[in-house]
Amino acid sequence: MRKIHVLLKKASYSKRYCGYKELADCLYLVLQDENRLCSIMKVYEEIAKKYNVNGSCVEKNIRKVNEEAWRKGGKKFINEISGQHYVVVPKTSELLEIFLDYLKNDQI
């Protein structure tokens, strides 16, 4: 889990948002089984149970923290680690995939 927090810090994510811990939990789960990316809503539902909210709330919180990180400098980092040039914030599932690849390649 430490690597996930280091990655999120490098990507300008702030712990002030509840989406931060939900995103960290998402990354932890997809790292355990990347096939979970194919049914990301099930992952959101699993995390929602932990925080006593619903899956759409988890998705909204993660989307919000992604937008804030993007605005505060995460764009450059995401473009760098993905090898792409995103003009707008990638979808949450895309970001999870980018982060998963980065973590799997043990770049932290």
* Amino acid letter, residue 60: K
Q: Are 70 and 8 in contact (CB under 8 A)?
A: no
What are the Cα distances from residue 39, in Å, to 14, 44, 101? 26, 9, 17
Domains annotated for the chain, with CATH where assigned, are 2-104 (1.10.10.10)
Residues in the chain: 108
Measured CA to CA, the distance from residue 41 to residue 57 in angstroms comes to: 11
Phi, psi angle pair for 99, to nearest 5°:
-65, -40
Per-residue pLDDT tens digits of the chain, which is 108 residues long: 899 999 999 999 999 999 999 999 999 999 999 999 999 999 999 999 999 999 999 999 999 999 999 999 999 999 999 999 999 999 999 999 999 999 988 655
pTM attached to this predicted model: 0.90
What the block records as the tokens of 70 is: 């993007």
